[in-house]
A and B are shown apart, each in its own frame.
Chain A
């Protein structure tokens, strides 16, 4: 019965993610059409949509990753469904509050809500506290979820085993699956950034409560904001990679990947370095000591390189000259890995101080993060969804791939991203609702991007039809 409840919750997560994903893509298309002068939208309307689009996208792929990991954790440890339900209730409340703040309260300070912008009220007065409270509700829900999963893991694995430290010794008795190792290091990063979010929100509310008599240091607020925002966006990918390590060999009909000293070392290093990588968002903040800027650049390299090197090597060695039973699931995992790598290279370039001077706040920035999200973590999460709807019925996925869906996905996805990269190359600034005549190339690129995004949306709907049908079925069959 518990198993059935677990499947129901996961199917509800998948349906929620799919609905919000489609809505967010449509918002993205509307923004690009506005930038392309194909439609008119008032300024505050544009930035309201931008705020909701950003927050929703980050939120849904975070919960998609968490729900996937939660489901797969059942293979190794006993993890309660209640924390999953708790997180869902808090997520629904948080999303409703967030959408209300933006669409009714007209809040439009962006999902990064960079201090002191939310306090310069250019919208309904209640919208700022509601937006910040929404983030607080989401943070609490997800924090309980993360700690709950960590507790479940630590009940079976000791600290050393969970981190895979036994692989640094010559002899070890207990094996730690790569899935457990990656999940642990990722959840620790998530706990750190969610605690940061709560601290940040506390500082915001203290200023609001004081009637703006208490003024916080903008540098502190920005550091905390990016510690939260940058880290959570990266951890989404690591959640997806945990599912990839667990499922890619399995769905390809190959033996499971084993853990080793270099995998353990790579992920332990990633866990540490990712906590310092956010400093690369502070390059323009001249008060930040130079040493911290250098640490930011180095940590950005060291956070990405070990995980990328180990995962890319594993995936390519796995695919190269091996007979793979290709299905939609492992193809999406493979394409998602490639999207993650391409976006990761863009991110590493952007985190290089000498390049950031030119790329900062240009369309290069959304280019790289859309790459590793839209064509990285989204594809990996879709791979998991595609696999799990068969796992619900203890079935194997058929060895049939719809070429049309994959071709549409690649053309739509990479075409859409290419327009961002070209915009970055032409120094088109980000976060402009319309472009002045001097940047008319930005409008043309935006229009082309909107067309590609429509193709991407069609592909996403086609891929998800089967997933949604099966999720509705498992949800309704369980309730009847």
Chain B
């Protein structure tokens, strides 16, 4: 229960921080989708690599954070780590935790890794880059410096990159296991089923999803599919009836 309250608190906090992005357009999960990610140089454990050196080996999920964050970054990483422990997809992928704060050093990132006991986990890479602006433009990530709180106002973003370096999916905010599982599947060229949830502005759904039972029940749209065939059937019957009259008059 406390965990949920904790999560709700940070979700509200995240939302309030995004409201603080005055004059800034809110992030969109569709922005820059299917674009090739900028092949920036990143530093991992003192060595510099091009980003492509990682994604060309296996798809990667980029988590953009900063170590001095007093807001979303820590619970975001904690939840990501927890969720991934329960997701058994059998797919290959790595998590690249990348700082967007120029103040963050290599040792700051290693300390962050140790905080989460991930320093020896080969699936997790903690890195910095000198090309933050380029990377942010490429992923569509926006961070606004707030000089009063000495914090960045930003959202929690996961960017899924496939082995060709294409941004396949983005997740904004703290997502559940199913969403992260779908992200992993998508960067591995898996099929992600999706069906729009009926809204108030939609009247003619073929099926209505019942979240309680988890089942799709036929809707009015399902019946509409039969309307033209039924109309034709009635028309033919009508023409047949009229022709019968003519036939009898003739004979």
Which A residues are within 8 Å of any B CB, using their own CB? 147, 150-151, 154-155, 157-159, 162, 188, 191-193, 195-196, 199, 203, 210, 213-220, 223-224, 227, 275, 286-287, 289
| B206, B216, B222, B224: most-surrounded residue (chain A CB, <10 A) | B206
A-B contact pairs, 30 of them (CB 8 A): A154-B246, A157-B243, A158-B247, A159-B237, A162-B240, A193-B228, A195-B228, A195-B231, A196-B228, A199-B224, A199-B227, A210-B201, A213-B201, A214-B201, A214-B202, A215-B201, A215-B202, A216-B204, A217-B202, A217-B205, A217-B219, A219-B205, A220-B204, A220-B221, A223-B225, A227-B228, A286-B193, A287-B207, A287-B216, A289-B216
Contact A203 to B240, CB < 8 A, known contacts A217-B196, A287-B216: no
Name A158's closest neighbour in chain B (CB-CB): B247
Residues of B within 8 A of A210 (CB): 201
- Verify A150–B239 contact, CB threshold 8 A: yes
Given A188-B232, A287-B206: A220 in contact with B201 (beta carbons within 8 A)? no
Q: Mark out the residues of chain B between 99 and 121 whose CB falls within 8 Å of any chain A CB in the assembled complex.
A: none
Say what secondary structure dominates the interface of chain B: helix
B244: Cβ under 8 A from any A Cβ: yes
User: A219-B207, A287-B206 are known contacts. Are A191 and B232 too (CB-CB below 8 A)?
Assistant: yes
B199 interface residue (CB < 8 Å to A): yes
Chain A: minimal CB distance from B49 (Å): 25
Roughly how many angstroms separate A444 CA and B246 CA in the complex, as a whole number? 62
- Nearest CB of chain A from residue B194's CB, rounded to whole Å: 9
Contact A155 B243 (CB under 8 A): yes
- B2 at the binding interface (Cβ < 8 Å): no
CB < 8 Å: which of B198, B202, B206, B240 contacts A158?
B240
Q: Which 5 A-B pairs have the closest CB atoms?
A: A159-B240, A154-B243, A220-B221, A195-B228, A196-B228
Chain B residues positioned under 8 Å from A158 (CB to CB):
240, 243-244, 247
For residue B150, CB closer than 8 A to chain A, the reply is no
- Chain B residues with CB under 8 A of A195: 227-228, 231-232
A154 x B240 contact (CB < 8 A): yes
Once the chains are docked, how many angstroms separate the CA of A287 from the CA of B202?
17
The residues in B between 209 and 251 inclusive whose CB is less than 8 angstroms from any CB of A are 216, 219, 221-222, 224-225, 227-229, 231-232, 235-237, 239-240, 242-244, 246-247
Q: How far is the CA of A224 from the CA of B206 in the complex (A)?
A: 11
Nearest-neighbour CB distance to chain B for A229, whole angstroms, equals: 13
Chain B residues near A227: list those with CB within 8 A. Answer: 225, 228
Q: A159-B236, A287-B195, A287-B207 are in contact. Are A219 and B221 (CB under 8 A)?
A: yes
Q: Which of A193, A199, A217, A286 meets B206, CB within 8 Å? A: A217
User: How far does the alpha carbon of A199 sit from the alpha carbon of B227 in the complex, in Å?
Assistant: 9
A199 CA to B231 CA, complexed, in Å = 11
Max count, chain B CB within 10 A of own CB: residue among A210, A216, A217: A217
Are the C-beta atoms of A203 and B204 separated by less than 8 Å?
yes
In the assembled complex, how far is the CB of residue A144 from the closest CB belonging to chain B, in whole angstroms? 13
Identify which of A157, A213, A219 contacts B195 (C-beta below 8 A): A219
A159 and B224 contact, CB distance less than 8 A: no
Give complex CA distance A151, B229 in Å: 18
| Distance (whole angstroms) from the CB of B247 to the closest CB of chain A | 5
The answer to whether B240 and A191 have CB atoms under 8 Å apart is no
Give A233 to B132 CA distance when docked, in angstroms: 54
Of the listed residues B193, B204, B244, the one surrounded by the most CB atoms of chain A closer than 10 A to its CB is B204
Interface string of B169-203 (1 = CB under 8 A from A): 00000000000000000000000010110110111
Bound complex: CA A126 to CA B225 (Å): 28
Contact check, B228 vs A199: say whether CB atoms are below 8 A apart: yes
Contacts of B201 on A, CB cut-off 8 Å?
210, 213-215
CA distance A158 to B236 in the complex (A): 11
Q: How far is the CB of A187 from chain B (nearest CB, A)?
A: 9
Determine the distance from Cα of A324 to Cα of B116 in the docked complex, in whole angstroms: 87
Identify 4 new A-B residue pairs, CB closer than 8 A, beyond the known A159-B240, A220-B222.
Answer: A159-B236, A188-B232, A220-B225, A227-B228
List chain A residues, Cβ under 8 A from B216. Answer: 287, 289
Say whether B205 contacts A275, CB under 8 Å: no
Q: Which residues of B contact A203 (CB under 8 A)?
A: 204
Q: Are B239 and A154 in contact (CB under 8 A)?
A: yes
CA distance A216 to B207 in the complex (A): 12
Residues of A contacting B221 in the complex (Cβ-Cβ under 8 angstroms) = 217, 219-220
Chain B residue at smallest Cβ distance from A157: B243
Cα distance A34–B181 when bound, in Å?
40
Pairwise interchain contact B193-A159, C-beta atoms closer than 8 A: no
Chain B residues within an 8 Å CB radius of A150: 236, 239
Closest to B203 in A: A214
Q: Are B243 and A147 in contact (CB under 8 A)?
A: no
Give the Cβ gap from B244 to chain A, nearest Cβ, in Å: 6
Chain A residue with Cβ nearest B229: A192
Q: Which residues of B contact A216 (CB under 8 A)?
A: 202, 204
Residues of B within 8 A of A199 (CB): 224, 227-228
CB–CB B246/A155 < 8 A: yes
Q: Which of A159, A192, A223 contacts B243 (CB 8 A)?
A: A159
Pairwise interchain contact B224-A220, C-beta atoms closer than 8 A: yes
Q: What A residues does B225 contact at CB under 8 A?
A: 220, 223-224, 227
> What is the CA–CA distance of A158 and B240 in the complex, to the nearest angstrom?
6
The CA-CA distance from A213 to B200 in the complex, in Å, is 10
Cβ 8 A contact of A188, one of B193, B219, B236, B246: B236
